[in-house]
Amino acid sequence: MTPINSTDPRLSSEDTETLREISQRVLWLSAAIVDAANRGRPNDTGVKVGGHQSSSASMVDIMVALWFHELTSLDRVSVKPHASPVLHAINYLLGDLDAAYLPTLRAKGGLQSYPSRLKDPDTVDFSTGSVGIGATAALWAAMSHRYLRSQFADVPVAGRFISLLGDAELDEGAIWEAVADPAVARLGELLWVVDLNRQSLDRVVPDIQVQRLQGMFAAAGWQVVTLKWGRLISEIFTRPGGAEFQRRLEDMPNEEYQRLLRVDASELAARIAGDTGSDGLHELLGSLPTQVLADAVRDLGGHDLGLLLDTYSEVDNHRPTVVFAYTVKGRGLPTEGHPNNHSALLTGPQMAALAQVCGTDIDDPWRPIAPGTAAADLCARRGAALQRTSVAQSTAIAIPTSLGHTHRKPASTQAALGRLLADFTRDASAASARVVTCSPDVASSTNLGGWINKTGIWSMNQRRDWFVDDNERVLRWSEVANGQHIELGIAEVNLVGLLSELGATWSRWGERLIPIATLYDPFVSRALEPWSNGIYAGGQSILVGTPSGVTLAPEGGAHQSITSPSIGLEQPRCIAWEPAFAQDLEWTFLHAMGRVGVPGGTSSYFRLSTRPIDPALARVPENPHLLERRRKQSVAGGYRITELDPSTEQVTLVGMGAIMPEVLNAAEVLADQGILAGVVCLTSPDLVFRSFQQRGARTPGVGSDILDMLFPAQHSTPLVTVIDGHPHTLSFLAGARGDRIRCLGVTEFGQSSDLNEAYVIHGIDTGSIADAAMSLLSR
């Protein structure tokens, strides 16, 4: 721990006074933004608009010291969710936000409830609505920038990557998974500032255990700085009786300290001294004017502007730094220190009083700082200094639609992905330079070995490969500065956090990457929330869940995914794929790569399998025109395998992924019984559902006509859908033509077995499929 209590401030008293004037105006504006949202707009719904005046207030000085003195235009800052009004207030004073937006918090087309990189009208570097995830985003952005600079010469330099987070966010596991990653200890450009106000949503936190938190960061290689007291009270601590005064304040429970903030100033001395205070303590407290003592008790390090600036300038730039800045929740507001102030709103009279204290007018809440004053001049200078140049997009990169390789041997889609990536370095070298793969310690078991052997492991510092002379080693683990695979520990949250930021480099620095991550499909749900938040913030990437489903029979229920197909279908700005055949994997994956890292692009989620499937089952046409037609259908969402005239079908079997051999076998069983069954192979139920949604829509959408191609409206037949996942994923197909339907899939946890036993257990074997079809026809 590095305590900083400088007695030689860098700023003159005039400079500090100017910053304090701006800080008071930001305090007012942040409170007024929330007030206008709740009391200044008509609201006939009865639903509270909400906002966080107190949570904003504790961050004001921390942020003013940054934006109005410390930041450069190269720095990127993640702001804690509940302090969004402070960010908007600062951007307004810097000329980055029109005053017309200030009354629009949480309104349509206005300021978002929490900082949003894509939806807010002013500069927001990271979307932070998800507690804990937004704070780590800056960390992964720093690593992404390091990676980008190692690959491309023209990448612009970056400054600090700063996260401003609330102390309650340190309860989130995502924080510690990120902090513990060994590579993070080398990110000297990383700065975290913790708003240590010792309150959460419901309560005053009884014991924040800051020493334990400090030790955890220090053990991970971080510089730890603690700003507990400001300069006013620190000077008092040096007087006779001051050491006892300091010890008394630091030993008291958080709740008692918060209570001191709520009592009349005349009671403070007696409450602090209590029944055990020494004569020296009584003498010291009695010597302090009542208001001076009240100010001193509130003089925490996170509100001392000079101390904050000294801290920002003195951190070690060779390793990450965390600053624990003690603050008061609601600082400067009537709600300060109240245990239930989290979402409390100031009343009209309280807002009027605050306006007077802050030197502004409640009847003109957005009045700018008077021109010609030192504060106005500083705002103008800082606004100009923080202006950013627009990001120029990198040169367009051609992604081939096909690699042209034949697929003749049985192969799993997971193995096909490994082959595709390995071939990609030769067949599309310019595009392959943009590919970066990531894995949480499962690279070899998800078939990335060939790619890794060709491209190497990315490392911030080149490391010696001690196994280079081992002839029995298949996977060459060469860690080099320009490698294209990033290996993380077994932490899926870290994986997708990095993936999201790698997928945002095209918009941050104008250099496109195509980030691809592999993880075991059962753990997609563990990674989903941070990945979804990354997509919300503009990250574009490809997530590969493999192996998937009960097809991974011997592994048992813990490694057999059930709900992931539906998860993929429901994720916004993402296309979910589950190809069955190696050829389909090639076409759809190349198509997905072409949609990543470009304006208007989209992420993709692939659900793959380790089950080898004979490519002959797909009946891929040899005629070039028919082959291209099949490719287009595959990337549109699916195709018909059987050559039956749909008007002659008595039942249609619909399958996807590893279960397709059973679907085709069931069609043959039915044919032996004189029943003509058509077979539809879906590559993306997601795209087929969009086609379904687009049908009859009043406005154009993203859906194609693939649904009508697969299920012609004029030829209605019963449907049997089969999936190695939850059956409701394909249940929407019943609405395509109003067909009778049976949806087969996995609805219970699996168990260890062989493949055939697993399919029988869950009713997705050949016999169950054929039986479902005959049952529909017998109605």
Q: Return the minimum-mean-pLDDT range out of 8-17, 34-43, 501-510.
A: 8-17
Helix and strand counts by DSSP (H, E) for the chain? 31, 19
| E strand intervals along 456-568 | 457-458, 479-480, 485-487, 514-519, 542-545
Neighbour tally for 249: CB within 10 Å: 18
Instruction: Check pLDDT > 70 for residue 466.
Output: no
pLDDT at residue 54 is higher than 60: yes
| pTM of full prediction above 0.85 | yes
Q: Describe the chain by its helix, strand, coil percentages, rounded to 5.
A: 45, 10, 40
CA distances from 555 to 340, 630, 767 (A): 49, 35, 24
Range with top average pLDDT, 460-464, 528-532, 699-703: 528-532
Cross-strand partners of 480: 458
pLDDT, tens only, 603-623: 999 999 999 999 999 999 999
Percentage of residues in the chain with pLDDT exceeding 90?
75
pLDDT of residue 4: 38
What is the tens place of the pLDDT at every residue in 439-461?
A: 998 888 888 989 898 899 898 87
Q: How many CB atoms lie within 10 A of CB 34?
A: 26
Cα gap 607→552, rounded to integer Å: 13
- Contact (CB, 8 A) for 161 and 76: yes
Tell me whether the omega of the peptide bond preceding residue 547 falls within 30 degrees of 0, making it cis. yes
Q: What is the pLDDT of residue 393?
A: 78
Kindly report the number of other CB atoms within 10 A of residue 235's CB atom.
15
Strands 677-682, 638-640: pairing kind: antiparallel
SS3 state of residue 675: coil
- Mean pLDDT, residues 83-107 taken together: 97
Nearest to 759 by CA among 714, 722, 710: 722
pLDDT band at 776 (very low <50, low <70, confident <90, very high): very high
Rounded Cα gap, residues 563 and 549, in angstroms: 9
pLDDT at position 444 is 85
Query: What DSSP element (H or E) covers 191?
Result: strand 190-196
Q: Rounded distance, CA 151 to CA 536, Å?
A: 26
User: Helices 84-93 and 13-39 meet at what angle, rounded to 10?
Assistant: 120
Q: Please check whether residue 543 is in contact with residue 524, taking contact to mean a CB–CB distance below 8 angstroms.
A: yes
pLDDT band at 8, cuts 50/70/90?
Answer: very low
- Hey, what amino acid is at 379? C
Q: Picking from 195-204, 435-444, 695-704, 739-748, which range would have the lowest pLDDT averaged per residue?
A: 695-704
More confident residue, 651 or 338: 651
Q: Give per-residue pLDDT as tens, 682-698.
A: 999 999 999 999 876 65
Residue range 519-557, pLDDT digits in tens: 999 999 999 999 999 999 999 999 999 999 999 988 888
- Angle at alpha carbon of residue 607, lines to 601 and 611, rounded to 5°: 145
End-to-end CA distance of the chain: 75
Q: Is the model's pLDDT at 186 over the cut of 90?
A: yes
Cα gap 608→580, rounded to integer Å = 8
pLDDT tier at 337, thresholds 50, 70, 90:
confident
How many Cα neighbours within 13 Å face the side chain of 6?
A: 16
Q: Which of 45-59, 157-171, 575-589, 713-727 has the lowest mean pLDDT?
A: 45-59
- Rounded CA gap, 375 and 352, in Å? 22
pLDDT of 700 above 80: no
pLDDT score recorded for residue 696: 67
pLDDT exceeding 70 applies to what percent of the chain? 95
Query: What pLDDT, on the 0 to 100 scale, is given for residue 11?
Result: 64
Nearest to 186 by CA among 252, 123, 142, 232: 142
Task: Quote the DSSP letter at residue 67.
Answer: I
Beta strands in 399-496 (DSSP E): 435-439, 457-458, 479-480, 485-487
Residue 713: how many other CB atoms lie within 10 Å? 11
Q: Span 578-591, mean pLDDT?
A: 97
On the question of pLDDT at 651 being above 60, the answer is yes
Over 70: is that where the pLDDT of 208 sits?
A: no
**Between 478 and 493, the higher pLDDT residue:** 493
Burial class (CB in 10 A: 0-12, 13-18, 19+), 202: exposed
Q: How confident is the model at residue 206 (pLDDT cuts 50, 70, 90)?
A: low
b/e 573-584 (16+ beta carbons within 10 angstroms → b) = ebbbbbbbbbbb
Examine the pLDDT at 231 and tell me if it is beyond 90: yes
Read off the pLDDT of each residue in 327-353 and give the average, rounded to a whole number.
89
Task: Tell me the C-alpha distance between 723 and 725, whole Å.
Answer: 5
Q: How confident is the model at residue 332 (pLDDT cuts 50, 70, 90)?
A: very high
pLDDT in tens, 255-296: 888 889 999 999 999 999 988 899 999 999 999 999 999 999
Average pLDDT over residues 174-203: 89
AA letter at 244 = E
Q: Residue 403 in contact with residue 427, Cβ under 8 Å?
A: yes
Q: Which two tokens stand for residue 353?
A: 């009083």
Neighbours of 669 (CB within 10 A): 17
pLDDT at 579: 98
Query: If we measure between CA atoms, which residue out of 200, 202, 129 comes closest to residue 167?
Result: 200
What would you report as the CA-atom Rg of the chain, rounded to the nearest whole angstrom?
Answer: 31
Mean pLDDT of the chain: 91
d(CA 525, CA 568): 10
Give the chain's length: 779
Spell out the alpha helix ranges (H) of 220-304: 231-237, 242-251, 254-260, 268-273, 279-287, 290-297
- Mean pLDDT across 163-189: 93
The H or E element that residue 572 is part of is none
